[in-house]
């Protein structure tokens, strides 16, 4: 069977598939649009892979699915990425065609053939679907580059369908569900929710062309009444800071993923909206989440829960399995995870069927995973290794601090210091903060420099931007 035929099999075609900016498209209408794009893309002779650079739209969804149905692998970087980054992706993937629109094509000037959806004539439907090998590579997930340059991980049809199967069952999504995700389809979390899981389950998905705001989140939650709310820590933070009240009464499951969610945000969300907030962990290599917490109670609030069904997980340090409570690198394995990067030689990530995630964690007494940051974000100052997440967790317990990032400063001087950028919702006394930290951390892990800032630098998909450093 073809992957798109799988999505539409036994589907109620008059059911709403997507709501984008309050406009609706049914599965029947989406199917017609896919078939129209199939006809065009087949005629244009696209056969290798294609970069799709579009804002959120029904045409974006239909173009992805039209390509997948033709066995054409796609990747979808954010329209906000620098032209040089997009060009580098095209060169790495040996891409010859870019599907885009008039506005974006005039800005890029990249040496590829542009397929402008604004000028395409869509009339003939191609319904001649061919059988597909499930091992066929169909999607290149872009890593975020939170500690380095973005890479692309290769995912097959089997990966997409089976991740959707396992995850949908785990979070209780079926054809009666409505998904609302604040993530764009250009993000892996967006593809996982809005394409893979939504279509596999024959549910409805809510999207927006604009970046989510507290006001927009309130509108979508209260107007369209989703059963499942998927977001990232950035929007949880903004929603809580806004003081906007939202009726989550009909939402059966809320989940944050994509980045570390500080415990205080989880607590505040639960207290304000009277709903549990699940905290998930995943990567481009795993399609999306491979673990999440089942509750958000005091016992497990700093935890990421346990690995989801069919996912194996190990904690490894110095090539040895860690004991309970010992921090090490997370290794994960599943039949539906990526097996390689696209045209990138890396002998450190994929090893004997395991993905070395570069995420650090330990298993607590309840058997749950406690996140301790990225391996590449750990740096050394004056001979001492500093894990910024460890320090940040303690700083965030200080009243008035809503976000922070710990980093080395004055590295070039040869006498580096530990610094912290703070975002606060009230005036704080940094001297009192230091005294507070004296009871929490070793002296060499206490920041020496304190900067109150308005914002923290983030990657293109909202993750905290951490620079790889070797301060000594």
Residue 126 near residue 35, CB atoms below 8 Å: yes
Per-residue model confidence as pLDDT tens digits over 143-182 = 765 445 678 889 999 999 999 999 999 899 999 999 999 9
pLDDT digit string, tens, across residues 422-446: 999 899 998 999 999 988 888 888 9
Q: Which CATH architecture has domain 1-132?
A: 3-Layer(aba) Sandwich (3.40)
Segment 100-135, tens digit of pLDDT: 999 888 877 777 889 999 999 998 999 999 999 999
Quickly list H helices, 274-414.
388-395
Q: How far apart are CA 276 and CA 297, in angstroms?
A: 8
Residue 171 to residue 192: CA distance in whole angstroms: 13
Quick one: 80 exposed, middle or buried, by C-beta within 10 A (0-12, 13-18, 19+)? exposed
Q: How many CA atoms lie within 13 A of 135 on its CB side?
A: 1
pLDDT at 4: 97
CATH number of 154-374: 3.40.50.12780
* Nearest-angstrom CA–CA distance, 79 and 54: 7
Question: Tokens in use for 74?
Answer: 């796609």
Per-residue pLDDT at 464 exceeds 80: no
Single out the residue of 134, 100, 98 nearest to residue 118, CA to CA.
100
With beta carbons less than 8 A apart as the criterion, state whether 243 and 214 touch. Answer: no
Total residues found in the chain within this entry = 472
The dihedral built from the CA positions of residue 173, 140, 114 and 210, taken in this order, carries a sign that is positive
- Categorize the per-residue pLDDT at 270 as very low, low, confident or very high, splitting at 50, 70 and 90: confident
Indicate the CATH number of 378-452 among 3.30.300.30, 3.20.20.220, 2.40.50.140, 3.30.70.1520: 3.30.300.30
In the chain, CATH 3.40.50.980 sits at 1-132
pLDDT digits (tens, 9 = 90+) for 287-330: 777 766 554 444 455 677 788 888 899 999 999 999 999 989 99
Q: pTM (2 decimals)?
A: 0.82
pLDDT at residue number 66:
97
Domain with CATH 3.40.50.12780 in the chain: 154-374
Taking alpha carbons only, the member of 66, 100, 68 closest to residue 83 is: 100
Q: So what's the pLDDT on residue 347?
A: 62
**What is the H or E stretch that residue 23 is in?**
strand 23-26
**Sheet with strand 152-156: strands edge to edge:** 113-116, 97-100, 49-52, 73-75, 137-142, 152-156
Q: Are 186 and 462 in contact (CB under 8 A)?
A: no
Helix (H, G, I), strand (E, B) or coil at 408: strand
Give one word for 45, left, alpha or beta, with left for phi > 0 and alpha for psi -120 to 50: left
CA distance 233 to 268: 12
Q: What is the pLDDT of residues 2-58, one digit of tens each?
A: 999 999 999 999 999 999 999 999 999 999 999 999 999 999 988 789 999 999 999
Neighbours of 240 (CB within 10 A): 19
Tokens linked to 221: 């939650």
Condensed to tens digits (0 to 9), the pLDDT of residues 199-249 reads 999 999 999 999 899 999 999 999 999 999 999 888 998 899 898 999 998
- Answer for the pair 165, 153: CB distance below 8 angstroms, yes or no: no
Residue 454: which H helix or E strand, with range? Answer: none
| Closest listed residue to residue 404, CA positions, set 384, 388, 385 | 388
SS3 of residue 290 by DSSP: strand
CATH 3.30.300.30 domain position(s) in the chain: 378-452
């Amino acid at each position: 069977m073809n992957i798109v035929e799988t999505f539409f099999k036994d589907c109620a075609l008059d059911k709403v598939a997507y709501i984008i900016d309050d406009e609706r498209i049914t599965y029947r209408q989406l199917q017609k649009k896919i078939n129209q794009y199939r006809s065009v893309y087949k005629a244009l002779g696209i056969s290798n892979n294609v970069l799709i650079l579009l804002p959120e739209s029904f045409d974006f969804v239909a173009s992805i699915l039209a390509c997948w149905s033709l066995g054409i692998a796609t990747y979808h970087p954010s329209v906000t990425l620098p032209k040089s980054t997009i060009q580098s992706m095209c060169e790495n993937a040996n891409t010859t065609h870019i599907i885009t629109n008039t506005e974006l094509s005039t800005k890029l000037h990249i040496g590829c053939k542009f397929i402008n959806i604004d000028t395409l004539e869509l009339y003939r439907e191609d319904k001649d679907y061919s059988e597909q090998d499930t091992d066929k590579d169909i999607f290149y997930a872009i890593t975020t580059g939170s500690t380095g340059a973005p890479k692309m991980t290769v995912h097959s049809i089997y990966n997409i369908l089976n991740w959707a199967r396992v995850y949908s069952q785990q979070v209780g999504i079926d054809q009666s569900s409505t998904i609302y995700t604040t993530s764009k389809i250009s993000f892996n979390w967006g593809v996982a929710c809005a394409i893979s899981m939504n279509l596999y389950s024959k549910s409805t998905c809510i999207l927006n062309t604009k970046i989510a705001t507290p006001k927009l989140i309130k509108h979508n939650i209260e107007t369209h009444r989703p059963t499942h709310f998927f977001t990232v820590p950035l929007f949880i933070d903004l929603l809580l800071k806004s003081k906007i009240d939202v009726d989550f009464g009909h939402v059966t499951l809320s989940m944050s993923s994509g980045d570390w969610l500080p415990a205080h945000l989880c607590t505040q969300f639960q207290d304000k909206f009277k709903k549990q907030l699940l905290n998930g962990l995943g990567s481009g290599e795993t399609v999306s989440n491979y673990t999440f917490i089942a509750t958000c109670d005091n016992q497990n609030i700093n935890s990421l829960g346990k690995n989801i069904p069919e996912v194996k997980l190990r904690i490894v340090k110095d090539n040895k399995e860690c004991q309970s409570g010992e921090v090490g690198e997370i290794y994960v394995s599943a039949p539906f995870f990526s097996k390689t990067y696209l045209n990138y030689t890396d002998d450190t990530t994929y090893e004997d069927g395991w993905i070395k995630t570069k995420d650090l964690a330990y298993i607590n007494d309840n058997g749950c995973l406690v996140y301790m940051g990225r391996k590449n974000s750990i740096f050394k100052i004056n001979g001492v290794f500093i894990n910024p997440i460890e320090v940040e967790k303690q700083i965030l317990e200080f009243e008035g601090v809503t976000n922070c990032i710990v980093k080395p400063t004055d590295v070039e001087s040869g006498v580096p210091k530990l610094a912290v950028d703070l975002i606060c919702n009230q005036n704080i006394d940094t001297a009192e903060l230091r005294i507070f930290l004296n009871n929490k951390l070793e002296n060499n892990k206490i920041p020496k420099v304190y900067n109150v800032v308005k914002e923290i630098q983030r990657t293109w998909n909202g993750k905290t931007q951490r620079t790889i450093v070797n301060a000594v």
